[in-house]
Amino acid sequence: MDDHVNENKPTAPHQSALAIDCASEADRIGAFIVATLRKLNRRGCVLGVSGGVDSAVCAHLAARAVGSDRVLALLMPERDSTKEAGARARRLCDSLGIPHVEEDITDPLEAIGCYRRRDEAIRKQFPDYGAGWRQKIAIVAGKTWMPQFNLIVQSPDGQIFERRLPVDAYLQIVAATNFKQRLRKSMEYYHAERLNYGVLGTPNKLEYDLGFFVRGGDGLADFKPIAHLYKTQVYALAEHLGVPDEIRREPPSTDTYSLTQSQEEFYFALSWSDADRVLHGMSEKLSAAEIAIAVGRDRSTVARAIQEFQGKRRAASRALAQAYVLGGGAS
């Protein structure tokens, strides 16, 4: 991307560039949900509700579109989930009158080796890691565009230890934890098939465009009604729809590792608001220098973010594609 500021282009987007007419957008998404379910020949929809803002907005939109009695919310906690997230999800469902089912997936994850395989990789870095310890992975901004990751663990007495992860350990930890998203999606499709419902996916545009999902896991759905909305726009829609303050105030989290982990430190390496503006600027074909003005960061940092986002976009495109078959292309 050229760093020269083109005087004929609009300046890089301020947050106001992402403003939407929330009432019109809610109606448009509602019509999309109804039309899609009709096209799929499904009676209603199933979605996972995590206690976060994306699934809360989708639950509101689905209930408005087809009625709360034709929406099933699934709460799928496991060993590393926070009790607070589950409580928020239950209160949301109760407020909307949406029936919900709680499926604790700890035992299936245990059986498939999710925790054992993850902990095996962690112990190669921290041999004392065991019962009572907690962990997370954090992205480290290096001097090149290639991301690096640190493993952070906390001992039972509260001491924090951090170490750079070699690639093989990082891949094993992520592969093991991805069982969580894949098992949750299997549960969603079980309930969808028994009810003749469609599976509603809840990614926003940042997650969808940049590949913040698991192939065969949370990346899988029959339809994704907010995948065109930046996170900024999701929050605006949440306020319009009356999503509870306790959900709107909660920082976005992966809720995948036992230590609190933001999406910023695990994947985007930017706050969601800055990531929105970088991705929007890229879509508008603005330069790194133009985007840097709006984001309020130096040009080199934004240039690295753009390069990384371009790579994530390519990876996301591959992850969303169907399987390749003999004869060329994807099926």
pLDDT tens per residue, range 258-272: 988 776 666 767 788
50 is known to lie in a ligand binding site: yes
Higher pLDDT, 287 or 17: 287
What's the pLDDT band for 87 if we cut at 50, 70, 90?
A: very high
Q: Is 222 annotated as contributing to ligand binding? A: yes
**Interval 126-183: pLDDT, tens:** 999 999 999 999 888 654 445 788 999 999 999 999 999 999 999 999 999 999 999 9
Residue 307 pLDDT > 80: yes
The response to whether 49 counts as a known ligand-binding position is yes
Q: Which residue has the higher pLDDT, 213 or 157?
A: 157
Instruction: Give the 3-state secondary structure of residue 292.
Output: helix
272-297: pLDDT as tens digits: 888 899 999 999 999 999 999 988 88
The answer to whether residue 10 scores a pLDDT higher than 80 is no
Token output for 46: 């199933």
Nearest partner of 200 among 45, 96, 317, 313, judged by Cα: 45
Buried/exposed code over 178-204 (b: 16+ C-beta within 10 A; e: otherwise): bbbbbbbbebbeebbeeeebbbbbbbb
Q: Do the annotations mark residue 55 as ligand-binding?
A: yes
Q: Which of 284, 327, 306, 258 is nearest to 17 (CA)?
A: 284
314 labelled binding-site residue: no
Closest CA to 127 of 101, 103, 161, 102: 161
Q: Which residues contact 122 (CB under 8 A, 6 or more apart)?
A: 129, 135, 151, 153, 169, 173
To the question of whether residue 83 is assigned a binding role by annotation, the answer is: no
pLDDT given for residue 15 in this prediction: 59
Looking at 205-209, 212-216, 289-293, 322-326, which range is the least confident one? 322-326
258 is in an annotated binding site: no
Q: Does residue 104 have a known ligand-binding role?
A: no
Q: Is the pLDDT score of 51 beyond 50?
A: yes
Phi-psi region for residue 311, left (φ > 0), alpha (ψ -120 to 50) or beta?
alpha
pLDDT higher than 70, residue 242: yes
Question: Is 202 assigned to a binding site?
Answer: yes
Tokens read off for 5: 């500021």
**231 appears as a binding residue in the annotation:** yes
CA 171, CA 227: separation in Å to the nearest integer?
27
Q: Is 182 annotated as a binding residue?
A: yes
Q: Hey, is 265 helix, strand or coil?
A: helix
Residue 262 CA to its chain's centroid (Å): 11
Tell me the C-alpha distance between 98 and 208, whole Å: 26
> Has 52 been labeled as part of a binding site?
yes
